[in-house]
Amino acid sequence: MASTDYYRLLGVPRNANDAELKSSFRKQALKYHPDRNPGNEDAEVKFKELNEAYSVLSDSKKRNIYDQYGEEGLKGAGAGAGAGGFGGFQNVDLGDIFGDIFGGFGFGGGSSGRSRSRKGGDLKHDVEIPLEEAFNGSRASVSFERTELCSLCHGSGAKPKTGLKKCSTCQGSGRVQYAQGFFSFAQTCPDCHGQGEVITSPCSQCRGSGHERKKAIVNIKIPPGINDGTLMRVSRAGDAGTRGGDSGDLYVQVYIKHHSRFERVEDDLLYYINLSVTQAILGANVEIPTIEGSKTTLNIPAGTQYGKMFRISNKGMAILNSKKRGDMLVNVKIDIPTRLNSNQKELFKELSSSIDGDEKVIKKKKSGSIFEKIRGSLIF
C-alpha cells in the first residue's frame, strides 16, 4: 500500500484529540462500510485504509511512532502483530464506535446485540384549539389509530410457548461469519434475521406479524402562548417497532381556531370596537372584553377618529415561556346610523348647519346642546 497521510485520510488536523478522531472516523467509515456499498471495491479499499489510519492514530503509542517516523516506523519497531499496514485493526473497538447504527451486527468484536430491530413509524396528527386554550395552556387529546405490539404474543409473532424453535442456521446466535478480504465479518443470520429463533407456528391473533392496529388516545400539554401551527413531538407514541425496536414518535401540529372577537397579532390581541357617532364625537368610557373572560374599561376621548388604535397594555396574549403578556390593540370603527326618524334628521341638519357654517342657525340655537340632543335621540 502506498504511503498515506492518515490525518488527511481521516480529515482531521494533526493535533486532533481522541474525540475528534473518533467522530471523523465514524462518519467516514459509515460512508464506506461494505454493508452500505455491496460490491463496490473502491469503497472497500477506502474502508480498509480508514481502519488502518484510525487503528494507528487512536493508539497513543502508535500515533507517536507515526508522528515521528511515518508509516515506515510502524512496520519496524513496536507496531505489534499483524500483516503489513493492517497491524492494529483488531484493536479497534468498532462495536463501541458504531454502536446502534448497525445494531451491533456486522462486526465480530462489536456489541452483543443480536437482533435486527427496527424503529416503528412516526405518525402525525393535527389538533385545533380555541384561542382561550392557547392563552391559558391546556391539555389536548389526540385520538388516532396506530400499530401496537400484538397483545397475545407481545410482538414475537409466534404462538405463545410452542411457536418458536432455535434457528439451525446460526445455532441460536443470530449471527453467521463470513470472510471478506482480510476480514472476518459477523453478519446477521439470514434465516432468523438475528433473532436466534424461528417461528414454527405463527401467533393466531396477528398471523405472525407481531403487531395489531389499535385506537390510541394521547394527551398533550399545550403551553400558554403556543403559536399557531406549532409542531409538538411525543416520543415513542407512534407505531410500535419490530423485534424490540423502539416505537416511532407522534407529531402533533397544533392549530388555533379563528376567534369571533380577537385576532392574534403575535403577542398582542386585536379587537375592533364599534363606536356610535356620538361616542366618537363626545368621548365615552367603553367596556372591552378580555381573553380571560373579564372586562376592562377604555376611555375614548372626544373627537376619536375612525381607524384610531388604542393600546391597553398587558391585556394581550400570553407569551410563550414567559410570565409576561402582550397588549390589547383596540381599533376603532364608527357606526353611521342608517335609519333616522324625522326628529333625528332635523337635529343632524341643525348640526350640519352649525358645523358647516350656516351662521343663522348658529345664532338661533345655543351651540353645544345639539350633540347632547342627538345622543339623547339615537338608540345604539
Task: Scan residues 61-80 and list those touching Zn ion (CB under 5 A).
Answer: none
Judge contact between 355 and 374, C-beta under 8 A: no
> Closest separation between CB of residue 207 and Zn ion, Å?
8
Taking the least distance from each CB to Zn ion, the nearer of 190 and 376 is 190
Contacting residue, 117, 205, 353, 377, with Zn ion by CB under 5 A: 205
191 touching Zn ion, by CB under 5 A: yes
Contacting residue, 57, 97, 189, 312, with Zn ion by CB under 5 A: 189
Taking the least distance from each CB to Zn ion, the nearer of 169 and 187 is 169
Q: For strand 328-335 and strand 268-276, is the pairing parallel, antiparallel, or unpaired?
A: parallel
Specify the long-range contacts of residues 13-19, CB closer than 8 Å, at least 24 apart: 14/67, 16/57, 18/58
* CA–CA separation, 66 and 68 (whole Å): 5
Residue 171 identity (one-letter amino acid)? Q
199 touching Zn ion, by CB under 5 A: no
344 touching Zn ion, by CB under 5 A: no
Judge contact between 143 and 156, C-beta under 8 A: no
Q: Where are the alpha helices (DSSP H) in 158-306?
A: 277-282
> Closest separation between CB of residue 216 and Zn ion, Å?
18
Taking the least distance from each CB to Zn ion, the nearer of 134 and 186 is 186
153 touching Zn ion, by CB under 5 A: yes
Contacting residue, 203, 250, 317, 370, with Zn ion by CB under 5 A: 203
Neighbours of 51 (CB within 10 A): 21
Taking the least distance from each CB to Zn ion, the nearer of 58 and 156 is 156
Going across the sheet that includes 309-312, the strands are 262-265, 268-276, 328-335, 309-312
Contacting residue, 206, 222, 250, 273, with Zn ion by CB under 5 A: 206
Contact letters for Zn ion, residues 95-134 (x by CB under 5 A): ----------------------------------------
> Closest separation between CB of residue 164 and Zn ion, Å?
12
Helices (H) and strands (E) in the chain, counts: 10, 15
Buried b (16+ CB within 10 A) or exposed e, 310-319: bebeebbbbe
Contacting residue, 94, 170, 237, 347, with Zn ion by CB under 5 A: 170
150 touching Zn ion, by CB under 5 A: yes
317 touching Zn ion, by CB under 5 A: no
* CA–CA separation, 251 and 41 (whole Å): 41
Contacting residue, 21, 186, 192, 220, with Zn ion by CB under 5 A: 192
* CA–CA separation, 349 and 355 (whole Å): 10
187 touching Zn ion, by CB under 5 A: no
Buried b (16+ CB within 10 A) or exposed e, 115-137: bbbebbeebeeebebebebbbee
Taking the least distance from each CB to Zn ion, the nearer of 170 and 329 is 170
Entry field: residues in the chain: 380
* Piece of 23-31, 168-176, 259-267, 355-363 that binds Zn ion (CB under 5 A): 168-176
> Closest separation between CB of residue 173 and Zn ion, Å?
7
Q: Cell numbers at residue 107, please?
A: 462486526
Residues at the site binding Zn ion, with contacts judged by CB under 5 A: 150, 152-153, 167, 169-170, 189, 191-192, 203, 205-206
